[in-house]
Amino acid sequence: MFTGTFSVNAYYLESSYNQMGITGALRPDGDIFGVYTVASTSGVCGSNGATEAAAPAALDGYVSGNYFATIYMFPSSPCGYSGATFGPTIYVNQDLLQMWTIAHELGHSLGMSHANSYVCAAGEVPPYCSNTNTYGDVTGGIMGGGQNQLNNINREFLGFLSPSAIQTVIANGDYLLTPIEYNGMGVSALRIPLSFNYYYIEFQQPAGVFDPERVRDLVSIRQGYGGSETFLVGAPAVGQIFTDSPNGISVATISVSPTGALMHIAFDPAACKLQPPSISITPAVQSGKARSSLAYTVTVTNKSMVACPAQTYAVMPNLPSRWTQGPSSYSVTLGYGASDTRTVSITSPGNAKPGDYQPSEKINLSQKLYSKRSAVYSVIQ
């Protein structure tokens, strides 16, 4: 757990570039309490006396609030798991303390989910497969089926990657990846936006203790974001191409060396499916006298998929009778994920009666209504 070349502490130190280790509250080499005998039998599935063990442990100096996580280890029971995590409480259902089990369950306490792989039926290709294997990613870190260093989706979630190590790709081109084992030496995570998460591309080399020889020159593509489930979707060798046709994305490995992998990423505009842009108006509510002009900030964001070319939106006001706006309308061209923010001035007429009015802005693309947003203009005496 705490000491040794292959300990949990060593694993997290290596995966975090020495930014996070595992220590005890009372002793730097770890706090261990017990063994305690409790009135539970190993033939019953449950916590098997773990909660009962907290009482005698308290007499030995254990205070739950002093720890990020507490691991309760008990002899094997009929429960269908080796380890189970409930927030800061970890149950280990086996007689043997194993690095993989503890590091994996501690990963759940840290907020990470599993590193999966896809299981494809005939004619299916990742990520469009019928089934997944919860621990099938054997090169994607301790949350999968191996003991490799954490993948870069998990590293970013835990704050181990510097912003300069992550590059979001939205244009065709060649991109250089440095090995994930070396921090601060360039871009080690290329990510391609999807509807709800990203494709992450990374490059591994056998450095350190936990990345073995089998990851030499290994390019991996995973789907996920943050602490959510990650899914291994491909590992293109030199000359191979990973293709996601519905999203118009292709990733090719051009060359690899001990210091980096050169990737070519391309987007097919034929796959474009336009999505409604988003629009916001601030402030949501404000007031002024009749014939006064109030300023509102309008932000328009392109929400179409990354394979779509830049789009030109017409932004037009929808106002009560005899109200005016400057500018009266305008157009803006935005690429993927880009936003435009500008101020408009809305003026009420001199005969406007006191009350609440709802001026709105609508966005059209090729004469098709895509989005509309209203604000409140309160006319006061």
- Residue 260: its pLDDT value, please? 96
Q: Give 63's Cβ-side CA count (13 Å radius).
A: 5
Q: What is the pLDDT of residues 226-235, one digit of tens each?
A: 889 999 999 9
Contacts of 355 (CB under 8 A, 6+ apart): 378, 379
Q: How far apart are CA 258 and CA 290, in angstroms?
A: 71
- 81 vs 72: CA distance, rounded Å: 14
What are the distances in angstroms from CA 207 to CA 164, 217, 356?
21, 11, 66
Q: Which helix (H) or strand (E) holds 301?
A: strand 293-301
CA 68 to chain centre: 22
Q: Is the Cβ–Cβ distance between 317 and 325 less than 8 Å? A: yes
Nearest alpha carbon to residue 128 among 220, 223, 219, 198: 223
Q: Give pLDDT tens digits for 64-109.
A: 999 999 999 888 778 878 889 999 999 988 767 789 999 999 999 9
Pairing assessment for the beta strands 89-93 and 70-74 based on DSSP bridges: parallel
The arithmetic mean of pLDDT across residues 360-381, rounded, is 88
CA quadruple 122, 127, 132, 135: dihedral positive or negative? positive
Q: Among residues of the chain, what percentage have pLDDT more than 70?
A: 99
The two tokens of residue 238 are 């030199």
Domains identified in the chain and CATH numbers: 8-109 (no CATH), 115-271 (no CATH), 278-380 (2.60.40.10)
The pLDDT of residue 233 is 97
Concatenating the DSSP letter of every residue in 319-375 gives --TT-EEESS-EEEEE-TT-EEEEEEEEE--TTPPSEEE--EEEEEETTEEEEEEE-
Residue 30 has pLDDT above 90, yes or no: no
Q: What pLDDT is attached to residue 77? A: 79
